[in-house]
């Protein structure tokens, strides 16, 4: 059997919509996903995200929890400029341009999910029970999404849109 062609890989980025929402991304078209200050998330941003990967945008700490849309990775391996900026709340003097501590990627708006895929609906879906998002105490803000999980989520977005 031929090796199945690897489709585009998918990730999930958490964001508080009060700070930055899918609407902000839709308006701006693309953005630098900077300010991530967690080593596990940093490793994914620096080493694993690839051009063209899909990014589910998850709204956290708000009234309507869930995946609000989809974006595409358009820039990888970027040293996080906010770490070098003394005026930024994300400033980190330990990170220097010659030896950056923190990395970010650029993403571009792809589409909104209307309505969003509610966290409740994700939790109720047996095939999605293993998602990092649902794991007890998971605070990782950049998460891998499995191929089957991504497929299921995209189906859910489609069905909800038709309903």
Name the site residues for DNA (rule: CB under 7 A): 14, 16, 38-40, 60-61, 65, 119, 123, 135-141
What's the rounded Cα separation, in Å, for the pair 36 and 15? 11
* Smallest distance from DNA to CB 75, Å: 23
Cβ closest to DNA, residue 51 vs residue 130: 130
Comparing C-alpha atoms, which of 41, 123, 135 is closest to residue 55? 41
**Strands of the 54-59 sheet, one edge to the other:** 30-33, 103-118, 66-79, 54-59, 10-15, 142-145
Cβ closest to DNA, residue 63 vs residue 162: 63
Residue 157 gets the label, from left (phi > 0), alpha (psi -120 to 50) or beta, of: alpha
* Smallest distance from DNA to CB 92, Å: 9
* Smallest distance from DNA to CB 34, Å: 14
Q: What is the DSSP letter of 4?
A: P
* Smallest distance from DNA to CB 12, Å: 11
Cβ closest to DNA, residue 54 vs residue 66: 66
Cβ closest to DNA, residue 30 vs residue 38: 38
What's the rounded Cα separation, in Å, for the pair 20 and 154? 22
* Smallest distance from DNA to CB 63, Å: 9
Cβ closest to DNA, residue 3 vs residue 136: 136
What's the rounded Cα separation, in Å, for the pair 159 and 75? 31
């Amino acid at each position: 059997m031929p090796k199945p062609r690897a489709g585009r890989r998918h990730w999930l980025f958490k964001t508080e919509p009060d700070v930055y929402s899918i609407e902000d991304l839709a308006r701006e078209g693309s953005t630098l996903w900077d300010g991530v200050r967690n080593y596990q998330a940093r490793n994914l941003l620096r080493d694993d995200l690839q051009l063209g990967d899909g990014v589910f945008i998850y709204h956290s700490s708000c009234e309507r929890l869930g995946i609000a849309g989809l974006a595409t990775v358009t820039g990888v391996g970027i040293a996080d400029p906010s770490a070098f900026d003394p005026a930024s709340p994300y400033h980190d003097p330990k990170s220097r341009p010659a030896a950056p501590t923190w990395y970010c990627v650029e993403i571009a708006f792809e589409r909104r999910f209307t309505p969003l895929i509610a966290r409740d609906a994700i939790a109720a879906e047996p095939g999605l029970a293993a998602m990092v998002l649902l794991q007890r105490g998971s605070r990782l803000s950049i998460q891998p999404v499995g191929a089957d999980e991504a497929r299921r989520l995209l189906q859910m977005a489609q069905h909800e849109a038709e309903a």
